[in-house]
């Protein structure tokens, strides 16, 4: 079933056209990604879909009974209700229906109704219909649904009675998403849902969305996430939309292929045009050939000329540099703990780790364990409750705020940068902004009018100008489009200073981090490797835990099992022993052969015949190589014991 | 594709998947193919030409099979006073009021069907969240909300079956056990198909009996030609 169709859609902001001739079709069970540059109009398109913005031309068709759910980029629930009660509001109608059913049941015993046969029968018929409807609509299921979605979003029974307005920003976003998922709209529109989710929640969401019964439209800059979920990609580029089938990786391949093909066709047509034009020019004036030339000219006029295929749009480019080198020891955190003045529990405690120059540390951990808080303590915005931080020599700290609170929304983009560095001339500031994709009049836009991604780029530009030798980044990849993200990755990879960052983008962490610090309420664990290594270690620990538990519980079944495994082990042992013996024998045999060869080589008629001598030395070499191999095998077998 | 077991392959040899059988032939085949180690249930499936989204086309109800389903149902009755005595006399397995409600609330479910008198429904309704998900809520259309407890219990004990269309307009009903005699199965089937024909909603258009098949718990399905019985 088609859930929504857009045809020839145009959207303008004032005189500027944002979207032009957008064609889009959404069917039930489609998993659609909308991709494009920051500021390409993806969020605008979603808002038009959701009916929050009007469009200027074109048409949108949506069947009347199709329900629609939209999660915008910066939503969070704001209410005094408790988590569970807020989720219950989604099922208000079902709860009302349940109350009606209970009332009807109570009425059944009413003597007044019982005495009147018609009204009694009517009541029974009504009750029957409503009872069946109630079941069909999930009346018996909604409570378990709420629990499962809340668990997925990592809210547990203990949290259910917590008032929502006491939660953190990330938690509120997660609740808004949870509420939307519970409504189960036919068309689910999510604008960057992955921004505030931690990795576990993301994995859960991937699973949930994959088996979602309606259509899903997502804008996201998380490659892993898109690859897992979507089967159709719409690219918004240069105001137009183009449809690709397959997941995100496939889209990239297809796009490159398309570009190549278009370019080939274009070149082919160009040579053809050139040929025709030449012919016309040469032959038009000659009487004998002028007819032919005229017909060719007509052909030329009729030809559908292809536009020059346009490759990738301009990418942001930047690199981070340092003004001076910091000391080798950058930071030493010792038994740090933090508690909000009005809080009754530590956000975290016993956090200790060291940071050396050149480290690229990823700080991971679930939402709400105080990663942002820790960063804020490092830059001195907050004061730790207990513990010490030793700062190294010659540190210049640069901080990237996930909320972009350091931007002044009344200024223009140009002034935002210029005011911080008044000694620079306008041209230089504009060049830098140009690198961050703000060209021409863009720099005169007010910061408050920028999209999320554009604000992020302004913040990064500011950070770059600071030339700090320690960068502290709080979710730098949020809001950035995929290309900008790649460039940020490259810039950070070649950054000569020290880096501490929080991110939930798995790909990003894996690319950048050389150390992973896992923060939890009870402390911090340092893993000396990238994100894959961290995951490996975690899996290992889990296995170990499971193993420990396993050994603790000894049951008769296990005794049986251990007997079988012991038998197997003995068998393996014997097999190995045999194998070792075989190897030893073979080595012995080869050694004998070598000796024989050596003796042969000493005989005069052999060493004078150079061909035969060569043959023999060759054979000896091969035998030696074989022995070497066998020795290695023998060694490894012994090591196993 | 999943591998077919030996039993499955053998069973399929006996059946011509493209052929529409008549009722007797079909049930005979089903009986032959019921080779599992237990007494398999024989089930009939009907695809009907109704739109279950429309309230007047929702086919739902209960009927008594002439030879029962081969299972005895455990019946619990909520009734008070005379009705409770009547229920006990009629052979209900459990009869009670608040005591049973408490027991169920604590997780006791040793029964297959609940019958309630209308005046008890106010109390039974409180169990909605417990009984609903298990499909045990009494319902007037299936005859489990009634003052005539005696009849209700007797019918259930005699082999009353419920039928209802699902979202895809299918009706699935058990019509007995593979150990039944063939003519008993045929009579049960005819009684069911007759009832379904009788409850055909007036607003249903086109062919009413679109597809019919019978099968046993472990055996393959055998298609029946609807015209062989629906005339």
Q: Is the pLDDT of residue A384 over 60?
A: yes
Mean predicted confidence (pLDDT) in A48-75? 83
Mean predicted confidence (pLDDT) in A531-544? 84
Position A315 scores a pLDDT of 58
Asked whether the ipTM of the predicted complex exceeds the cut of 0.85, the reply is no
Residues A386 and A474 in one domain: yes
Q: Given CA atoms A522, A527, A531, A532 in this order, what sign does their dihedral have?
A: negative
Position A556 scores a pLDDT of 55
Other C-beta atoms closer than 10 Å to the C-beta of A220 total 22
Interface test with B, best of A128, A129, A134, A146 (most B CBs within 10 A): A128
Mean predicted confidence (pLDDT) in A523-541? 84
Chain A residues lying within 8 Å of B58, measured CB to CB: 132
Mean predicted confidence (pLDDT) in A428-433? 78
Which of B2, B71, B31 lies closest to B218 in space, CA to CA?
B31
Position B230 scores a pLDDT of 56
Q: Is the pLDDT of residue A72 over 70?
A: yes
Burial A448-486 (b: 16+ CB within 10 A, else e): eebbbbbbbbbbbbbbbbbebbbbbbbbbbbbbbbbbbb
Whether chain B has a CB inside 8 Å of the CB on A129: the answer is: yes
The domain tally of chain A equals: 6
Q: Are A102 and B60 within 8 A, CB to CB?
A: no
- Residue A563 falls inside a structural domain: no
Percent of the residues in chain A that have a pLDDT greater than 90, as a whole number: 0
- Picking from A124, A139, A141, the nearest residue to B145 by CB comes out as A124
pTM (two decimals):
0.58
Alpha carbon B30 to its chain's center: 18
Residues A64 and A135 in one domain: no
**Residue A331 burial (CB < 10 Å; 0-12/13-18/19+)?**
buried
Q: Is the pLDDT of residue A8 over 60?
A: yes
Which residues form the domain of A420? 407-466
Burial A555-570 (b: 16+ CB within 10 A, else e): eeeeeeeeeeeeeeee
Q: Are A105 and B58 within 8 A, CB to CB?
A: no
Q: Is the pLDDT of residue A613 over 70?
A: yes
Q: Are B139 and A128 within 8 A, CB to CB?
A: yes
Mean predicted confidence (pLDDT) in B124-136? 77
Contact B115, B142 (CB under 8 A): no
Residues A192 and A240 in one domain: yes
Mean predicted confidence (pLDDT) in A263-282? 88
Mean predicted confidence (pLDDT) in B92-115? 78
Percent of the residues in chain B that have a pLDDT greater than 70, as a whole number: 98
Q: What is the DSSP letter of A308?
A: P
Whether chain B has a CB inside 8 Å of the CB on A139: the answer is: yes
Mean predicted confidence (pLDDT) in B8-34? 78
**Residue-wise DSSP of A3-25:** EEEEEEEEEEETTEEEEEEEEEE
Q: Is the pLDDT of residue B63 over 60?
A: yes
Report the gap between the CA of A21 and the closest CA in chain B (Å): 38
Mean predicted confidence (pLDDT) in B201-215? 81
Give the class (CATH, top level) of B16-69+160-228: alpha beta
Residues A491 and A536 in one domain: yes
Q: Among all residues of chain A, which has the CA nearest to that of B145? A: A124
Backbone φ, ψ for residue B130 (5° rounding):
-90, -45
Q: What is the DSSP letter of A497?
A: S
Mean predicted confidence (pLDDT) in B175-201? 82
- Residue A46 falls inside a structural domain: yes
- Residue A360 falls inside a structural domain: yes
The span from the CA of A492 to the CA of A476, in Å, is: 11
Which range of A139-143, A630-634, B106-110 scores highest in mean pLDDT? It is A630-634
- Residue A308 falls inside a structural domain: no
Cβ–Cβ pairs < 8 A, chains A and B? 55
- Picking from B60, B118, B128, the nearest residue to A109 by CB comes out as B118
Chain B residues lying within 8 Å of A95, measured CB to CB: none
Residues A356 and A390 in one domain: yes
H/E run at residue A244: strand A240-245
Q: Is the pLDDT of residue A558 over 60?
A: no
Per the prediction, chain A carries an average pLDDT of: 82
- Domain residue ranges in chain B: 16-69+160-228, 75-157
Chain B residues lying within 8 Å of A125, measured CB to CB: 140-141
CATH of the domain at A587: 1.10.287.380
Residues A485 and A411 in one domain: no
Q: Is the pLDDT of residue A513 over 60?
A: yes
End position of a domain, from candidates A526, A555, A584: A555
Which of B119, B80, B140, B126 lies closest to A114 in space, CA to CA?
B119
Whether chain B has a CB inside 8 Å of the CB on A141: the answer is: yes
Residues A240 and A262 in one domain: no
Whether chain A has a CB inside 8 Å of the CB on B129: the answer is: yes
Q: What is the DSSP letter of B21?
A: B
Q: Are A109 and B119 within 8 A, CB to CB?
A: yes
CATH of the domain at A331: 3.40.50.300
**Helix, strand, coil percent content, chain B, rounded in steps of 5:** 40, 20, 40
Position B103 scores a pLDDT of 78
Per-residue pLDDT band for A280 (boundaries 50, 70, 90) equals confident
The span from the CA of B5 to the CA of B7, in Å, is: 5
Residues A496 and A370 in one domain: yes
**Residue A385 burial (CB < 10 Å; 0-12/13-18/19+)?**
middle
- Residue A453 falls inside a structural domain: yes
Lowest mean pLDDT among A181-195, A309-323, B63-77: A309-323
Position B140 scores a pLDDT of 79
Which of A596, A576, A595 lies closest to A584 in space, CA to CA?
A576
Structure tokens at B48: 């009907």
Contact A69, A141 (CB under 8 A): no
Whether chain A has a CB inside 8 Å of the CB on B194: the answer is: no
Position A314 scores a pLDDT of 58
Whether chain B has a CB inside 8 Å of the CB on A257: the answer is: no
Position A560 scores a pLDDT of 61
Structure tokens at B121: 């429904």
End position of a domain, from candidates A267, A302, A337: A302
Number of separate helices (H) and strands (E) present in chain B: 8, 9
Backbone φ, ψ for residue A608 (5° rounding):
-85, -30
Backbone φ, ψ for residue A527 (5° rounding):
-115, 125
Position A316 scores a pLDDT of 58
Residues A551 and A479 in one domain: yes
Structure tokens at A62: 């949506």
Q: Is the pLDDT of residue A234 over 80?
A: yes
Position A138 scores a pLDDT of 78
Per-residue pLDDT band for A555 (boundaries 50, 70, 90) equals low
Position A641 scores a pLDDT of 58
Q: Is the pLDDT of residue A399 over 80?
A: yes
Q: Are B128 and A128 within 8 A, CB to CB?
A: no
Superfamily grouping for domain B75-157: Ribosomal protein L1/L10, domain II (3.40.50.790)
Residues A532 and A491 in one domain: yes
The span from the CA of A194 to the CA of A180, in Å, is: 14
H/E run at residue A502: strand A498-502
Per-residue pLDDT band for A317 (boundaries 50, 70, 90) equals low
Whole-angstrom distance between the N-terminal and C-terminal Cα of chain A? Answer: 63
Other C-beta atoms closer than 10 Å to the C-beta of A272 total 13
Structure tokens at B214: 């019978």
The span from the CA of B120 to the CA of A214, in Å, is: 41
Q: Is the pLDDT of residue B217 over 80?
A: yes
Q: Is the pLDDT of residue A460 over 60?
A: yes
Q: Is the pLDDT of residue A509 over 80?
A: yes
Position A300 scores a pLDDT of 83
**Residue B81 burial (CB < 10 Å; 0-12/13-18/19+)?**
exposed
Contacts of B21 (CB under 8 A, 6+ apart): B29, B222, B223, B224, B225
Angstrom CA distances, A147 to A153, A155, A329, A530, stand at 10, 9, 47, 34
**Residue B216 burial (CB < 10 Å; 0-12/13-18/19+)?**
buried
Residues A73 and A54 in one domain: yes
The C-alpha torsion from A355 through A360 and A363 to A364, rounded to 10°, is -140
Assign 3-class secondary structure to A440-489: HHHHHCEHHHCCHHHHHHHHHHHHHHHCCCEEEEECCCCCCCHHHHHHHH
Residues A158 and A95 in one domain: yes
- Picking from A124, A141, A143, the nearest residue to B140 by CB comes out as A124
Position A312 scores a pLDDT of 61
Q: Is the pLDDT of residue B201 over 70?
A: yes
Contacts of A516 (CB under 8 A, 6+ apart): A361, A362, A364, A509, A526, A527, A529, A530, A531, A533, A534
């Amino acid at each position: 079933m088609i859930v929504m169709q857009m045809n020839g859609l145009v959207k303008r902001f004032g005189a500027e056209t944002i979207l032009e001739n957008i064609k889009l079709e959404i069917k039930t069970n489609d998993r659609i990604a909308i991709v494009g540059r920051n500021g390409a109009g993806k969020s605008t398109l979603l808002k038009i879909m959701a009916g929050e913005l009007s469009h200027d031309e074109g048409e949108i068709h949506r069947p009347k009974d199709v329900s629609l759910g939209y999660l915008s980029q910066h939503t969070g629930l704001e209410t005094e209700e408790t988590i569970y009660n807020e989720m219950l509001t989604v099922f208000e109608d079902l709860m009302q229906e349940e109350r009606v059913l209970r009332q009807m049941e109570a009425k059944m015993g009413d003597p007044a109704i019982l005495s009147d046969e018609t009204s009694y029968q009517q009541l029974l018929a009504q009750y029957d219909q409503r009872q069946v409807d109630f079941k069909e609509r999930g009346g018996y299921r909604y409570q378990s649904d709420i629990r499962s979605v809340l668990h997925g979003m990592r809210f547990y029974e203990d949290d259910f009675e917590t008032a929502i307005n006491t939660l953190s920003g990330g938690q509120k976003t997660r609740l808004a998403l949870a509420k939307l998922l519970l409504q189960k709209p036919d068309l689910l529109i999510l604008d960057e849902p992955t921004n505030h989710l931690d990795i576990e929640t993301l994995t859960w969401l991937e699973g949930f969305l994959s088996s979602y019964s309606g259509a899903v439209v997502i804008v996201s800059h998380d490659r892993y996430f898109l690859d897992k979920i979507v089967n159709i990609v719409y690219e918004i580029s240069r105001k137009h939309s183009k449809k690709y089938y397959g997941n995100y990786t496939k889209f990239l391949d297809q796009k490159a292929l398309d570009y190549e093909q278009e370019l080939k066709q274009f070149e082919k047509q160009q040579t053809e045009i050139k040929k025709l034009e030449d012919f016309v020019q040469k032959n038009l004036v000659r009487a004998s050939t002028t007819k032919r030339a005229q017909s060719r000219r007509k052909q030329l006029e009729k030809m559908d000329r292809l536009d020059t295929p346009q490759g990738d749009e301009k990418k942001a480019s930047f690199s981070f540099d340092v003004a001076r080198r910091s000391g080798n020891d950058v930071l030493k955190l010792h038994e740090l703990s933090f508690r909000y003045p009005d809080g009754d529990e530590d956000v975290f405690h016993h956090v200790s780790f060291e940071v050396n120059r050149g480290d690229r540390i990823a700080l991971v951990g679930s939402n709400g364990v105080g990663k942002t808080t820790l960063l804020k303590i490092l830059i001195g915005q907050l004061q730790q409750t207990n513990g010490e931080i030793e700062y190294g020599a010659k540190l210049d700290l640069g901080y990237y705020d996930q909320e972009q609170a350091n931007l002044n929304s009344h200024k223009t983009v140009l002034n935002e940068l210029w005011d911080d560095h008044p000694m620079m001339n306008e041209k230089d500031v504009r060049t830098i902004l140009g690198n961050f994709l703000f060209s021409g009049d863009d720099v005169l836009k007010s910061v408050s009018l920028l999209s999320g991604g554009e604000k992020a780029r302004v913040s990064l530009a500011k950070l770059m100008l600071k030339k700090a030798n320690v960068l502290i980044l709080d979710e730098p990849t949020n809001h950035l489009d995929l290309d900008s993200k790649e460039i940020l990755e490259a810039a950070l990879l070649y950054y000569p200073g020290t880096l501490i960052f929080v991110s939930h983008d798995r790909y990003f962490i894996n690319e950048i981090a050389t150390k992973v610090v896992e923060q939890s309420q009870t402390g911090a664990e340092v893993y000396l490797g990238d994100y894959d290594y961290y995951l490996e270690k975690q899996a290992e620990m889990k296995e170990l835990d499971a193993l420990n538990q396993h050994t603790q519980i000894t049951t008769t079944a296990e005794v049986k099992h251990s007997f079988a495994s012991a038998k197997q082990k003995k068998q393996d042992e014997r097999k190995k022993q045999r194998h070792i013996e075989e190897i030893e024998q073979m080595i012995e045999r080869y050694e004998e052969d070598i000796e024989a060869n050596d003796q042969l080589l000493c005989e005069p008629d052999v060493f004078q015949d150079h061909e035969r001598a060569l043959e023999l030395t060759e054979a000896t070499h091969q035998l030696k190589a074989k022995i070497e191999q066998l020795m290695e095998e023998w060694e490894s077998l012994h090591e196993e014991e | 594709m999943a591998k077919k077991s030996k039993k499955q392959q053998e069973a399929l040899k006996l059946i011509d998947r493209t052929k529409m059988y008549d009722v007797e032939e079909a049930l005979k085949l089903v009986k032959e193919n019921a080779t599992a180690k237990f007494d398999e249930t024989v089930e009939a499936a009907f695809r009907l030409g109704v739109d279950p989204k429309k309230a007047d086309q929702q086919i739902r109800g209960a009927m008594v099979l002439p030879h029962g389903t081969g299972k005895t149902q455990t019946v619990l009755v909520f009734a008070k006073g005379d009705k409770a005595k009547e229920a006990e006399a009629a052979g209900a397995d459990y009869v009670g009021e608040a005591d049973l409600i408490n027991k169920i609330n604590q997780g006791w479910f040793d029964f297959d069907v609940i019958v309630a008198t209308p005046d008890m429904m106010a109390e039974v309704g409180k169990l909605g969240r417990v009984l609903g998900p298990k499909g045990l809520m009494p319902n007037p259309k299936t005859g489990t909300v009634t003052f005539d407890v005696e009849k209700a219990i007797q019918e259930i004990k005699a082999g009353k079956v419920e039928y209802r269309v699902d979202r895809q307009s299918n009706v699935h009903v058990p019509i007995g056990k593979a150990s039944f005699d063939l003519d008993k199965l045929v009579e049960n089937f005819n009684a069911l198909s007759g009832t379904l024909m009788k409850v055909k909603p007036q607003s249903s258009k086109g062919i009413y009996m679109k597809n019919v098949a019978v099968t046993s718990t472990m055996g393959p399905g055998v298609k029946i030609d609807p015209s062989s019985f629906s005339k």
